[in-house]
Each structure stands twice: as structure tokens, then as C-alpha cells.
Copies of this chain bind each other. A is one copy, B any other.
Amino acid sequence: MTDIKAERHKARQQKVKEAVDAKVAAATIERGVLMVITGNGKGKSTAGFGTVTRAVGHGKKAAVVQFIKGGWDCGERNLLEGVGVPFEVMATGFTWETQNRETDTAAAEKAWAVAETWLKDESLDLILLDELTYMLSYHYLDLERVLTALKNRPPHQHVIVTGRNCHRQLLELADTVSEIECVRHAFEAGVKAQPGFDF
């Protein structure tokens, strides 16, 4: 590599460094973040569980409510329960399997009651509300009740909500919103869901 190329690289990186440093210096607020991970692409729940893994690895306390999924053997739950993360699982399975609005609503409310307790618990640093969005789009849970509990949580507490088609008002309340677009999915090419990768 020529010296000129190395110098150019250095100058470019110096500019990046200055921009990054200025942004980091401007970000001084420390508080709990409400994050929504939505969209049709793969990776919403795993991004939530990856953050739980991260939090526990820093000695933080995390808890998980799994809405919808949970009726089967779930790799992330196996590991994280083993290291002391409490799980509340709405184990009714997918709503198109049960086809019963009344039992689904009761199951959602039971799981949400646990979520509400955790959203008041000062000792918890992170709560993952996995697949919560569907509970709102199916009207299994009352929107105002959910928003109120999120707004009144302890100021340092981080919350992650995952699921498709997140309600507009929940999106507006969120500090961070990531939308995962499905550019391509192996499932569409005939690859089946495999344990340890897809669940």
C-alpha cells in the first residue's frame, strides 16, 4: 500500500472519528429505553433475546414475557431460565391454532398481569415483552392499559417489545424503533424451521 493511500485512509477515519465523538459527547442522558422491534423480517425475537443475554452478562436483572409463542421447546428459554431469568409464557400457541377468542383473551390477560407486576419492579433492569404487538392487534389486551403500565415503569428500566404491525401509539411512545424488512427468507425457498436456528 502506498503512503498516500494510508494517509487518505487516516484522514477519512479522522473525520469519522470527529463526527462520532461529537455525537457521543452530546448523548449524556442515562435512562431506561423503550424499544420496539417490528416489521416482517426474521430477527425480531432473537434481537430481544440477544439483549437479554447482553444484560445478564453485565450482571443486570432481566425478565421475559412470551406472548403467543411458548407452546413448544424454546432454545433461548432453556438457556436463559438456567441462568436465572424468570419467564412468563402464554402457552396457548398461535392464535390461528386455538381459534378461540375467549380463551386467547384470558391467556393474554393472565400473562399481562405478570408483565404489569414486573413493570413496577425497581429491581428489574430489562423486560422483554416478546410478541406483545399481536395482543393489541387482536384486541386481546386493552391499549390504554398497556401504554399506562409502560409510561409508569421505573425510569431506569429498559423494555423491548417485539412483533409485527405494532400499534401506532406504541410506536410513538417508543424511544427506539427498528423495523426489520424481510428481503429474503429461506422458508420461502422450501427450507423448514429448524431447532436452534428458527426456534
Q: Enumerate chain A interface residues (CB-CB to B < 8 A).
A: 1, 5-6, 9-10, 13-14, 16-17, 20, 23-24, 26-31, 33, 35, 37, 39, 41-60, 73-80, 82-83, 94-102, 125-126, 158, 171, 174-187, 189-197, 199
Across-interface contacts of A20 in B (CB, < 8 A): 94, 96
Q: Contact check: which of B75, B126, B176 meets A185 at CB < 8 Å?
A: B176
Q: Which of the listed residues A29, A54, A199 has the most CB atoms from chain B within 10 Å of its own CB?
A: A54
Across-interface contacts of A158 in B (CB, < 8 A): 194, 196-197
Q: Contact check: which of B27, B41, B44, B60 meets A190 at CB < 8 Å?
A: B27
Q: Contact check: which of B53, B75, B175 meets A75 at CB < 8 Å?
A: B53
Q: Would you mind naming 17 contact pairs between A and B with Cβ atoms under 8 Å apart?
A: A1-B101, A14-B99, A20-B96, A26-B190, A29-B191, A50-B76, A53-B80, A54-B79, A55-B197, A58-B196, A126-B196, A175-B184, A176-B185, A178-B183, A179-B183, A180-B181, A181-B181
Across-interface contacts of A55 in B (CB, < 8 A): 75, 196-197
Can you name the residue of chain B whose Cβ is closest to the Cβ of A8? Answer: B101
A43 and B53 in contact (CB under 8 A), knowing A10-B99, A23-B187, A191-B27?
A: no
Across-interface contacts of A31 in B (CB, < 8 A): 191
Can you name the residue of chain B whose Cβ is closest to the Cβ of A43? Answer: B47
Across-interface contacts of A181 in B (CB, < 8 A): 39, 178-181
| Closest 4 pairs between A and B when the two form their complex, measured CB to CB | A46-B50, A50-B50, A57-B75, A57-B79
